[in-house]
A and B are shown apart, each in its own frame.
Chain A
Amino acid sequence: MASVTMTVNGKSVSGNVEGRTLLSDFLRNDLQLTGTHIGCDTSQCGACVVHVDGEAVKSCTMFAVEADGTDVATIEGQANADGSLNVIQQAFQDHHGLQCGFCTPGMVMSAAALLKDNPTPTEGEIREYLEGNICRCTGYHNIVKAIMAASGQDVSAVAAE
């Protein structure tokens, strides 16, 4: 067992983990931050995306010990200080960018990372960036639309509803 200490959503946390413990398991099991989801076992689905030192990371591809000393952000820390939805979250609700909600935390975290680097991405850039996040419910239509809206673009011309 190894001791790890990191900042998660602005709070310092520590724990004892096995060498094989994944960051995703540490977040879910040790910290009870179950908003980070596990949808596959091959690092394909993206339901577990978090930010580590500001970069989007699939938390199932990283050992907890590798995150020692880092600054981690998860879906639980994304809302505004007053508890209201942030711009991206609000856009997902406004544009029906989620159905079952399982891929949603990873989608929101990926979208946030995209918009940090590219504040007004094109439809094509969004679709390419989301290649590592799988959604089975929405057909991605309203996810792409929500991210465009969150970046301040006019989505009224996007087909239907």
Chain B
Amino acid sequence: MPKDGGIGASTTRREDVRFLTGKGKYTADINAFGQVSAIFVRSTVANGVIKSIDTSAAESMPGVLAVFTGEDFADVGGNPAGWLINSRDGEPMKEPKRPVLAHGKVRHVGDAYAAVIAETEQQARDAAEEIIADIEELPAIVDMAAALAGDSYVHDEIETNQCFDWGWIEDNRAATDEAIKNAPHVTTLELINNRLVPNAMEPRASIGTYDAAGDSYLLQTTSQNPHLTRLLISAFVMGIPENKLTVIAPDVGGGFGSKIYHYGEEALVLAAAKKVGRPVKWVADRSESFLSDAHGRDHVTKIELACEKDGTFIAFRTETLANVGAYLSNFSTATPTFLHGTLMAGNYTVPNVYVNLKAVFTNTAPVDAYRGAGRPEATYSIERVIDMAARELGMDPIEIRRKNFIKPDQFPFASAAGLEYDSGNYDALMDKMEAMVDRKAFEERRKASEAKGMLRGLGINAYVEACGIAPSNLVGVLGSRVGLYDAATVRVNATGNLSVMVGAHSHGQGHETVFPQIVGDMLGIDPASVDIVHGDTSKIPFGMGTYGSRSLAVCGSAVVRATEKIIAKAKKIAAHMLEASADDLDFTDGQFAVKGTDKSVSFGEVALKAYIPHNYPLEDIEPGLEETAFYDPANFTYPSGAYACEVEVDPETGKVTVERFTACDDFGNVMNPMIVSGQVHGGVVQGIGQALLENTTYDENGQLLSASYMDYVMPRADDLPFIAVDHADGTPCTHNPLGAKGCGEGGAIGSPPTVVNAVIDALQSGGKNVTHIDMPLTPARVWAAMNNA
């Protein structure tokens, strides 16, 4: 049983109180003294040459303080890609410059080419209307295959639209080809992983402030990782010394990947603040978010699964085109490669895996990591083609998966795609899922659906993913230009309460509640006496932020390590106080006690002694009680799951309704089950959204047709059932001190193929010869598939 409020307890969240009473402080809620407003002028064409920009009328409008164009940033650096990918022939990827404001060319609808700074937002908006840009429109490059075949380029200077042509693992290519050529059965599936917009409910916003007295800057911004943002601005874009730039990410209203990256607007508000001598605030409206936030997914894939007649897998071979949009966003080259290709063996002992992936520039918004980031694409391809193979071979979809699962006694397991899975029990997850679904009862539910003229389908799925990124040494070898450790400082105050400064950033994950559960548990003190400080580079140690389900596995481990150092030092102080050897002390429930005696001191007494070091062995122990730890993991963590979805399909209209959804996950040791369930609910629903509702549509001219909530279909409460989840009894991660695996993305990774498998099952049960429909499975698509089949 978890201790009261300690590790494993479903403690309610302390941060909720401010959010529930309207006291949250998001960037848009902050008003700096003397602040002025920035408005960006964005391209209305997808591809065009900027002939001239006339800003004179705008500059003379009321309240206008400054107007910026790309010319003003021609001499500063570009926003870089964080990961170098080499092509199969050894050539490094193409890295065209991504400027603060478009210069020379605009490359996607929404590409900002000017900005107006005015006293008020309305004045800036009015003045922006007066900027006259002569932009010669060029044909838009939208379709990826056409982009590769054509002779016009998104970036003229690189004379290709191919960023890279990557093979994983290139040495496995010949063997995989040979295995597929000789296989008794090969199932081939061509599919599209639909482009999505992350759509955190809080639009991006930034406030730049310049302090002439110290020649220093402050950036308050909607970021998942303030230190990385500072590093990018300092080292690459603007050259502001790191110690002259503070970045604060206050309350942030969701991220899902879209707020990992540095965006040009952040550099602009800093430059503008210096120029006008006032704080400069920009808040995106939702239309700007659709046009300029990094999008997600957007793969076109052909996958082949070779197997024996009995369903034993022999090989997976994948060819994928991945859209990176008009510019390389910070993680955009890692997402389709090392977060995707390395997962292409799934949960299976399959001996041969080969992935070829070409990344393609197009005149569309940049594409980068969105919840799951590469692993949803891998899981979707694998789990769809397995379902199709099972149907072709006349096998049960659960049976074929179980036949190929890595078995519990095979861990640690070196997958054919190059990862070493540390722990898992995929059969146990499947057992649990089958018990929750009860397939006999499903047959009854199917009959009941059919009795009212509906088709009912059951889709199942298994997933494994790699998260908690990542070992710096490993990612360095693979091309990462950053380290991926995290950091925590535990400060015990003299009166015994604690401030814990962490490099992870909470924008919904509940760190302010969970990290104190861990520290409180370790120190045997009330978690309420522990406060978490995050999001401010002037207060926290250099951490890499929150994404890739890394907060607990990486930063949480740093919290553990720092707390262990606190305990070690406190023990020495206690030993002095008790006139005993440190080796003779036990530390339980917040008390240091001499073994076999009734002599003890409390943790609080030790803390006070550390800060009032009278009668204190200063020659051996420093005063104070504050420790920092940087934690760099030895491996990714490998959460896994078995999911089931039941749908009803209306054969008259093609409308799909999700009737039941079951998610059984293995997240290793769970710190707060309530919060983990919430992560699964949210991830699953984003996956249901991808499968049934959401799609980002550019027309042939590169116009974004789905640029508002009137057009982009977000999942709403009435699209969904309750989600049944279970994440008890996981197999602990073997290499971090908490035994925890990341839980933030599994839901979004496991759910899309589950839903699509269910719809295909429903259609097949109704005698429709439909084997695949591309997401989202809208009524129109499902109806067309049924009626053309």
Stretch at the interface among B77-85, B166-174, B344-352, B671-679: B671-679
Chain A proximity mask over B12-42: 1 for CB below 8 Å, otherwise 0: 1101111111111110110100000000000
Contact in complex: B10, A102 (CB < 8 Å): no
For residue B730, give the distance in angstroms from its CB to the closest CB of chain A.
Answer: 15
For residue B128, give the distance in angstroms from its CB to the closest CB of chain A.
Answer: 15
Chain B proximity mask over A11-49: 1 for CB below 8 Å, otherwise 0: 000000010100000001000111111111110110100
Contact in complex: A127, B682 (CB < 8 Å): no
For residue A120, give the distance in angstroms from its CB to the closest CB of chain B.
Answer: 17
Closest to B679 in A: A99
A140 within 8 Å of B (CB atoms): yes
A45 to B715, CA, bound (A): 11
From known contacts A39-B202, A44-B708, infer whether A142 and B678 are also in contact, taking CB-CB under 8 Å: yes
Partner of A40 from B12, B252, B708, B724 at Cβ < 8 Å: B708
Contact in complex: B20, A138 (CB < 8 Å): no
A123 to B23, CA, bound (A): 29
How many residue pairs between the two chains, A and B, have CB atoms under 8 Å in the bound complex?
200
Contact in complex: A99, B678 (CB < 8 Å): yes
Contact in complex: A137, B682 (CB < 8 Å): yes
Contact in complex: B21, A75 (CB < 8 Å): yes
B375 within 8 Å of A (CB atoms): no
Contact in complex: A89, B21 (CB < 8 Å): yes
For residue B376, give the distance in angstroms from its CB to the closest CB of chain A.
Answer: 16
Contact in complex: B714, A127 (CB < 8 Å): no
Q: Which residues of A contact B678 (CB under 8 A)?
A: 96, 99, 137-138, 141-142, 161
Closest to B22 in A: A35
Contact in complex: A139, B685 (CB < 8 Å): yes
Contact in complex: A140, B720 (CB < 8 Å): yes
Contact in complex: A76, B21 (CB < 8 Å): yes
B199 within 8 Å of A (CB atoms): yes
A115 within 8 Å of B (CB atoms): no
Q: Which residues of A contact B10 (CB under 8 A)?
A: 161
Closest to B678 in A: A96
A159 to B677, CA, bound (A): 10
Closest to B684 in A: A139
Interface residues of A in 41-67 (CB under 8 A from B): 41-42, 44-45, 47
Q: Which residues of A contact B723 (CB under 8 A)?
A: 139, 141, 159-160
Contact in complex: B21, A99 (CB < 8 Å): no
A138 to B704, CA, bound (A): 27
Stretch at the interface among B108-116, B311-319, B492-500, B507-515: B507-515
A130 to B199, CA, bound (A): 18
Contact in complex: B681, A138 (CB < 8 Å): yes
Contact in complex: A142, B681 (CB < 8 Å): yes
A133 within 8 Å of B (CB atoms): yes
- Number of B interface residues at 8 Å Cβ cutoff, please give it: 64
B716 within 8 Å of A (CB atoms): yes
Closest to A143 in B: B717
B753 within 8 Å of A (CB atoms): no
A93 within 8 Å of B (CB atoms): yes
A101 within 8 Å of B (CB atoms): yes
Contact in complex: B286, A99 (CB < 8 Å): no
A76 to B253, CA, bound (A): 18
Query: Max chain B CB contacts within 10 Å: which of A34, A89, A100?
Result: A100
Q: Which residues of A contact B6 (CB under 8 A)?
A: none
Closest to A85 in B: B20
Contact in complex: A35, B201 (CB < 8 Å): no
Query: Max chain B CB contacts within 10 Å: which of A33, A99, A139, A160?
Result: A139
For residue A8, give the distance in angstroms from its CB to the closest CB of chain B.
Answer: 12
B789 within 8 Å of A (CB atoms): no
Chain B proximity mask over A101-117: 1 for CB below 8 Å, otherwise 0: 11111001000000000
Contact in complex: A102, B17 (CB < 8 Å): no
B129 within 8 Å of A (CB atoms): no
Closest to A44 in B: B709
From known contacts A37-B26, A41-B285, A93-B12, infer whether A102 and B682 are also in contact, taking CB-CB under 8 Å: no
B208 within 8 Å of A (CB atoms): no
Contact in complex: B673, A39 (CB < 8 Å): no
A98 within 8 Å of B (CB atoms): yes
Q: Besides the contacts A76-B21, A134-B716, what 17 more A-B pairs have beta carbons closer than 8 Å?
A: A37-B28, A37-B201, A38-B283, A75-B22, A89-B20, A92-B20, A101-B16, A104-B20, A128-B718, A134-B201, A137-B508, A138-B681, A139-B715, A140-B717, A141-B685, A142-B678, A160-B723
The 10 A-B pairs at the shortest CB distance, nearest first, are namely A35-B22, A101-B19, A102-B253, A139-B685, A100-B508, A99-B508, A44-B709, A161-B677, A34-B29, A75-B22
- Please report B residues at the A interface, Cβ cutoff 8 Å: 10, 12-13, 15-26, 28-29, 31, 122, 199-203, 251-254, 256, 283, 285-287, 507-510, 673-678, 681-686, 708-710, 714-718, 720, 722-726, 747
- 26 inter-chain pairs at a CB distance below 8 angstroms, sorted by A residue, are A34-B29, A37-B26, A37-B201, A39-B203, A40-B285, A42-B709, A75-B21, A76-B21, A92-B16, A93-B20, A96-B677, A96-B678, A98-B16, A99-B509, A101-B20, A101-B24, A102-B26, A103-B201, A130-B716, A134-B709, A136-B199, A138-B681, A139-B681, A139-B682, A139-B715, A161-B725
